[in-house]
Amino acid sequence: MKLSRLVGMACALLWASIAVHAAPSATQLLEQSDAIRNPGNSFSLTNTLIEFRNGKQTNVDVLTVYAKPDLGDGQYRNLVQFDEPARDANKLLLKNGNDLWFYDPSSQASVRISPQQRLLGQAANGDVVTVNWAKDYVPALAGEEDVTDGDRQARHCYQLHLTARTPDVTYHAIDLWLDAGNSHPVKARFYTESGALLKVAYFRKFQQELGAERPTETVIIDGLDPNWVTVMRYSNYTWRDVPDAWLQRAYLARFKPE
């Protein structure tokens, strides 16, 4: 075999290897991003939601989130306890599969709710629970581009388009930008079934939490009114056992954190 042909074959193999390395699959990218957003074992954290209108703070909610991965499907089951304001203290939100239940201790009743329903400002019920998007959405790689992140810095990103697998998830479709160097989520745009833009989110303030560098703040901007902003801040990350009993609707009236 001639040397020139050998060189040509070697170059072709090299470029093929580079191409494979440079363009991971959409599923791989989304799974990597999920692992950055969410710890892999049972944990708890504090989620502080702050609503702003025209730059002025108008409302604050403080929640404790208990999350446990389901060994069957890899998705998370969640129990969310309302801590503040005082009028909402000890109310509960349960996510088991794609079913969400709201429990009010004053009435001792639990009612099924929609993940799309607003909780505070731009944050929906489905935004405050732990979710692996790779389980709920079909991803497609839409390309690469430079985008401005939540700190107004340019980031070279892969863009994914996510389409809901079932109608009972929070959003019909999501455009998601991931840092091409480390799969950090940078920006997301969320859409209704009709294709209308609901909101834009920026993932910020990455720091080491439970074994990985994770975003500790999400800034959510209304799709129609950019002056309506909700900030979600995550703190007090802790590995902890979440008993299966906590994650049952029948147990909500008896729930008391350990």
- The answer to whether the CB of 51 falls within 8 A of the CB of 230 is yes
* Any domain includes 7: no
The string over 214-242, giving b where at least 16 C-beta atoms fall within 10 Å of a residue's C-beta and e elsewhere, is bbbbbbbbbbeeeebbbbbbbeebeeeeb
Residue 73: its pLDDT value, please? Answer: 84
Residue 257: its pLDDT value, please? Answer: 79
Which residue, 202, 216, 200, is CA-closest to 150? 202
Residue 247: its pLDDT value, please? Answer: 96
* Any domain includes 41: yes
Per the structure, the count of domains in the chain is 1
* Any domain includes 108: yes
Residue 17: its pLDDT value, please? Answer: 47
* Any domain includes 2: no
* Any domain includes 37: yes
Residue 118: its pLDDT value, please? Answer: 87
* Any domain includes 16: no
Q: Give residue 70's Cα distance to chain centre.
A: 17
State the DSSP string of the chain: --HHHHHHHHHHHHHHHHHHHHS--HHHHHHHHHHHHS-SS-EEEEEEEEEEETTEEEEEEEEEEEEEE-TTTSPEEEEEEEEESGGGTT-EEEEETTEEEEEETTTTEEEEE-TTSEEETTEEGGGSS---HHHHEEEEEEEEEEEE-TTS-EEEEEEEEEEESSTTSS-SEEEEEEETTT--EEEEEEE-TT--EEEEEEEEEEEEETTEEEEEEEEEEESS-TTEEEEEEEEEEEE----GGGGSGGGGGG----
Global pTM value:
0.88
Residue 5: its pLDDT value, please? Answer: 53
CATH label of the domain that carries residue 91: 2.50.20.10
Range of the domain at 117: 26-254
- The answer to whether the CB of 70 falls within 8 A of the CB of 59 is no
* Any domain includes 128: yes
* Any domain includes 193: yes
> Each residue's pLDDT tens digit in the chain (258 positions)?
454 554 454 445 544 444 445 568 999 999 999 999 999 999 999 999 999 999 999 999 999 999 999 988 889 999 999 999 999 999 999 999 889 999 999 999 999 999 999 898 889 999 999 999 999 999 999 999 999 999 999 999 999 999 999 998 999 999 999 999 999 999 999 999 999 999 999 999 999 999 999 999 999 999 999 999 999 999 999 999 999 999 999 999 999 876
